[in-house]
Amino acid sequence: ERSCVPGRVTAVAIDGFRHLKNYGNWRSMGMTWDELWNKYERQILEEDLSAKCASDMCTLDDDDIASQVSLRILERSCHTNRAIDELVLGGNSNETGKSRNEIGQEALAIAIELDNEINNLLNKQDEMLEKRRDVGSKIASLGTIVEREASFLCDKLSRSGNKALEALLSTKATLRSIDFLQSTH
């Protein structure tokens, strides 16, 4: 934290002096939104004026200006100062002494490993779904067998007495259990 303090103080001082020089008052937090908008609007209008001098067909309406100013603000917010990058980043290496190429290779290796792990998890999920389907088909086959047995017992029931009725009730309980198992898988 302490090593960052001189850099922060310097940045605040530079912003304050720059604002004092351009706008006549001290502001160390950078430009306000209105100042930023006016700066880029002025640049866009100057560019349009110079283009208008080249050809009489250049005129911008308010919507075009607003769109171009917004685009310019976005472009500039993504732009970095190369001198500051070199000063802070120390050339082509970071604080660990690794080059950007080495860091890129490490990041690529991590991304590949992560991708492989995700694929393994997805394959395991597919295997689990296949096993569930197999269990479901076995339960369905068991249900078919029990239904045939119940039909057979119903035929026996019509020919005989109470023992067949007990067997049929037992088969119905088995069918209910199978239906329950099918609904849970």
Query: Given this model, what pLDDT does residue 57 score?
Result: 60
CA distance 176 to 144: 13
Question: CA-CA distance, 175 to 168, in Å (whole number)?
Answer: 10
Distance CA 136, CA 32 (A): 66
Residue 49 has a CB neighbour count (10 Å cut-off) of 11
The confidence score (pLDDT) of residue 159 equals 66
- Residue scoring higher pLDDT (121 or 37): 37
Maximum Cα–Cα distance for the chain, whole Å?
A: 112
HEC letters along 78-131? HCCCHHHHHHHHCCCECCCCCEHHHHHHHHHHHHHHHHHHHHHHHHHHHHHHHH
Please give the single-letter amino acid code of residue 80: T
Each residue's pLDDT tens digit, 119-173: 888 888 888 888 888 887 888 787 788 778 777 766 776 666 566 566 656 666 6
Cα gap 155→158, rounded to integer Å: 5
The pLDDT confidence band at residue 42, using thresholds 50, 70 and 90, is: very high
How far apart, in whole angstroms, are the C-alpha atoms of residue 19 and residue 39? 13
Task: Report the predicted TM-score, pTM, of the whole model to 2 decimal places.
Answer: 0.37
According to the model, what pLDDT value does residue 166 have?
A: 63
CA distance 104 to 156: 78
Q: Which residue reads 């086959």 in tokens?
A: 141
The model's pLDDT over 78-123, given as tens digits with 9 standing for 90+, comes to: 776 677 667 666 655 445 566 767 777 787 888 888 888 888 888 8
